[in-house]
């Protein structure tokens, strides 16, 4: 299902699904300049930004082709989040490959960027596992994580409080197991 918050984004996604050259060019024209600016501000080059943006467009195109996209934010924010995650992952990968002394590393990457990068990667890691859950689990946990009272969740889903409590526990356990069984889990355990 392809779903967006507003009509313009919905039309852009539908056009992208058909492979309309104009739609693709419009996405580049609207969003690439901001991505270039952000990546340059975060120790990258214009070439890096173009590569990251291209990767993001391929990922977006694939999701649209599979009709596996339901935006909960404007398309602009979605594209930026993909690019940001891709760029921060590349920086982190480079940091692992190049072993610098801590003083040099601080000069290259501002502490706030490192913190943001780590939390963004952790969210992305969590979200990948969250998406593996069934729709029912995703719905229950999403409401739970938004601090919706369990009784309200039960009412929304037209079921009993006891069932929601049991199901929330099962879904949480399933999510925790999935995360803990991921080979990359150790990287986030600090």
For 130-165, write each residue's pLDDT tens digit: 888 888 898 998 888 888 899 999 999 899 999 999
Show the DSSP H helices in 109-160 as ranges: 111-132, 135-145, 150-156
pLDDT-derived band at 105 (thresholds 50, 70, 90) equals very low
177-188 burial: b if 16+ Cβ within 10 Å, else e: ebbeeeeeeeee
For 10-40, write each residue's pLDDT tens digit: 888 888 888 778 888 888 899 999 999 989 9
Residue 108 pLDDT: 43
Mean pLDDT of 117-142: 80
* DSSP helix, strand, coil percent of the chain (3-state; round to 5): 75, 0, 20
Per domain, the residue ranges of the chain are 1-131, 133-190
**Residue written as token pair 């779903």:** 3
Residue 3 pLDDT: 67
- Strand 2-3 and strand 69-70: the pairing is parallel
- Quote the mean pLDDT of the chain: 79
Q: Higher pLDDT residue, 174 or 65?
A: 174
């Amino acid at each position: 299902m392809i779903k967006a918050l507003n009509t313009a984004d919905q039309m852009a996604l539908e056009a992208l699904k058909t492979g309309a050259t104009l739609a693709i060019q419009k996405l580049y024209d609207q969003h690439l300049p901001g991505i270039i600016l952000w990546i340059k501000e975060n120790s990258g080059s214009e070439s890096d930004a173009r590569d990251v943006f291209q990767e993001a467009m391929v990922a977006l195109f694939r999701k649209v082709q599979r009709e596996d996209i339901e935006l909960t934010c404007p398309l602009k924010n979605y594209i930026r989040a993909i690019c940001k995650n891709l760029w921060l992952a590349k920086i982190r990968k480079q940091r692992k490959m190049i072993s610098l002394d801590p003083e040099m590393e601080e000069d290259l990457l501002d502490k706030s960027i490192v913190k943001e990068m780590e939390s963004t990667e952790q969210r992305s890691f969590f979200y990948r596992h969250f998406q593996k859950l069934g729709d029912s689990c995703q719905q229950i946990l999403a409401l739970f994580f938004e601090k919706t009272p369990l009784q309200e969740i039960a009412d929304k889903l037209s079921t009993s409080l006891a069932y929601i409590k049991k199901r929330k526990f099962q879904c949480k356990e399933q999510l925790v197991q999935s995360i803990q069984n991921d080979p990359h889990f150790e990287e986030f355990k600090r």
